[in-house]
Structure 1
Amino acid sequence: MGVAYSVGEVDHLYTFFSQWSPDISTKCNKTNKKARAPAYIIREKNHSRYLVLAQDKAALIDKLLRDAANPAAKNWEIITVNKPKRKLSLSSFEESDEPAYQDDVEDTLPVLSEQSLLLDHLHLEKVSAHLPVRTQGYPWQLAYSTAVHGSSLKTLYRNMAGLDSPVLLVIRDMHKKVFGAFSSDPFRISHGCYGTGETFLFSFNPDFQLYKWTGENYYFVSGNLESLQIGGGGGCFGLWLDADLYHGSSFSCPTFHNAPLSTHEDFIVQDLEVWTLHS
Structure 2
Amino acid sequence: MGVAYSVGEVDHLYTFFVQWSPEIYTKGNKKNRQTRYLIREKHQNRYLVVEKNKVAVINKFLSNPVNPTAKNWEIITVKDSKHRLSVSSEDSEAEEPEYQEEVDDVLPVLDDQSQLLNDHHLKRLAAHMPARCQGYSWQLVYSTAIHGSSLKTLYRNMAGLDSPVLLVIKDMHKKVFGAFSSDPFKVSKYCYGTGETFLFSFNPDFKAYRWSGENSYFVSGNLESLQIGGGGGGFGLWLDADLYHGSSFSCPTFHNASLSSQQDFIVQDLEVWTVQN
TM range (shorter): 0.5 to 0.7
Highest CA radius of gyration, 1 or 2? 1
Q: What is the letter of the counterpart of residue 257 of structure 2?
A: A
* Cα separation, partners in 2 of 1:213 and 1:104, compared to 1, 3 Å: closer
Q: 1:106 aligns with which of 102, 105, 118?
A: 102
Aligned-residue offset at 1:114: 1.1
SS at match of 1:182: strand
Alignment of 1:177-256 (within 5 A): 177-256=175-254
Q: What is the letter of the counterpart of residue 249 of structure 1?
A: S
SS at match of 1:154: helix
SS at match of 2:102: coil
* Match status 1:131 vs 2:129: yes
Deviations 1:202-255 (CA, angstroms, capped at 9, x unpaired): 000001111000000000000000000000012310000000000000000000
* Cα separation, partners in 2 of 1:122 and 1:193, compared to 1, 3 Å: same
Structure (1 or 2) with the greater helix fraction: 2
* Cα separation, partners in 2 of 1:204 and 1:105, compared to 1, 3 Å: closer
TM-score, scaled relative to structure 2: 0.63
Q: 2:174 aligns with which of 173, 176, 182?
A: 176
Q: How many aligned positions are there?
A: 181
Q: What is the letter of the counterpart of residue 150 of structure 2?
A: S
Q: Give the distance between the partners of 1:133 and 1:240, measured in 2 at CA.
A: 27
Q: 1:156 aligns with which of 138, 144, 154?
A: 154
Aligned-residue offset at 1:158: 0.2
Aligned to 2:42: none
Q: What is the letter of the counterpart of residue 126 of structure 1?
A: R
Deviations 1:28-77 (CA, angstroms, capped at 9, x unpaired): x79xxxxxxxxxxxxxxxxxxxxxxxxxxxxxxxxxxxxxxxxxxxxxxx
Aligned to 1:268: 266
Aligned-residue offset at 1:104: 11
Q: Give the distance between the partners of 1:215 and 1:194, measured in 2 at CA.
A: 14
SS at match of 1:122: helix
Structure 2 gap segments, 5+ residues each: 1-8, 13-98
Q: 2:143 aligns with which of 119, 122, 145?
A: 145
Q: Give the distance between the partners of 2:194 and 2:238, measured in 1 at CA.
A: 18
**Equivalent pair of 2:133/2:276 in contact (CA under 8 Å):** no
Deviations 1:105-159 (CA, angstroms, capped at 9, x unpaired): 9342111101100000110111111100001121100000000000000000000
**Equivalent pair of 2:194/2:218 in contact (CA under 8 Å):** yes
Q: Give the distance between the partners of 2:193 and 2:267, measured in 1 at CA.
A: 24
Structure 1 gap segments, 5+ residues each: 1-26, 31-102
Aligned to 1:5: none
Aligned to 2:256: 258
Q: What is the letter of the counterpart of residue 128 of structure 1?
A: A
Q: Give the distance between the partners of 1:154 and 1:231, measured in 2 at CA.
A: 20
Runs of 4+ in structure 1 over 3 Å off = 103-107
Q: Give the distance between the partners of 1:215 and 1:106, measured in 2 at CA.
A: 29
* Cα separation, partners in 2 of 1:122 and 1:224, compared to 1, 3 Å: same
TM-score, scaled relative to structure 1: 0.62
SS at match of 1:106: helix
Q: What is the letter of the counterpart of residue 265 of structure 2?
A: F
Q: Give the distance between the partners of 1:131 and 1:277, measured in 2 at CA.
A: 10
Q: What is the letter of the counterpart of residue 106 of structure 1?
A: E
